[in-house]
Amino acid sequence: GRVGLIVPRWHGITLNTSYWHSHAVDLGADYVTTGAGNERFGNAGQTENNVHEDMKGNSGFDQPHAFMLQASYDTGRQKGFLGPVLRNWNVSGVYLLKSGTPFNVTTGADGPGLGNVDGTNGDRPMVVDSNVVGRTIGDPGTAQDLLPKSAFRFINYPLEVSGNLPRNAFRKGSIANLNMSVSRTWTLR
């Protein structure tokens, strides 16, 4: 869904602002995945059973919230003593704020002490502390505090064949971007 407000021109000001809310879910394949090479491992189920249930999760490009503000001010034709200096200037800016994209946590092994028994790299751990699920990691310096090792454990193979951590259960920090420009138009005779 999208809600927007557009003010085409009012006293030299042009304004365009909008807010989006969306949600993208998939079964592991990304829109750029070819299914070959190293990228196929992250897009495979932990086991050959219940692949759809295991892989269903937030898409790698899911960003539920986005806000954009685009504004422009044009001085136009100014009069008076400073008119020649102040006329025909334009100041424009775009501010974009978006939710962070999801990311996955994998263990790299499914048999403690035995390594990666099934040879697939998509194994996820067991969650011991469910309070960590859904956290946003906006600063690498705080990642170990927000996702401590004590909140996870390896699976006990062969009694457990897959971890219970959902795919793409965490988010990167939000994105904020500001671009601005100042320009002037001259007439060449």
Q: What is the pLDDT of residues 111-122, one digit of tens each?
A: 666 667 766 667
Which range among 54-63, 77-86, 163-172 has the greatest average pLDDT? 163-172
The DSSP call for residue 127 is: E
Please check whether residue 126 is in contact with residue 165, taking contact to mean a CB–CB distance below 8 angstroms. yes
How would residue 37 be classed by pLDDT, with cut points 50, 70 and 90? low
Q: Which SS3 state, helix, strand or coil, does residue 141 take?
A: helix
Residue 88 reports pLDDT greater than 90: no
Of the candidates 160, 101, 172, 158, the residue with the CA atom closest to the CA atom of residue 128: 160
Which range among 17-26, 52-61, 180-189 has the greatest average pLDDT? 17-26
Alpha helices in the chain (DSSP H): 39-42, 51-55, 83-86, 143-146
Quick one: pLDDT at residue 67? 98
Q: What is the pLDDT of residues 63-72, one digit of tens each?
A: 999 999 999 9
User: Which range has the worst mean pLDDT, 46-55, 110-119, 121-130?
Assistant: 110-119
User: CB atoms < 10 A from the CB of 69, how many?
Assistant: 16
pTM: 0.75
Please check whether residue 24 is in contact with residue 101, taking contact to mean a CB–CB distance below 8 angstroms. no
d(CA 75, CA 135): 46
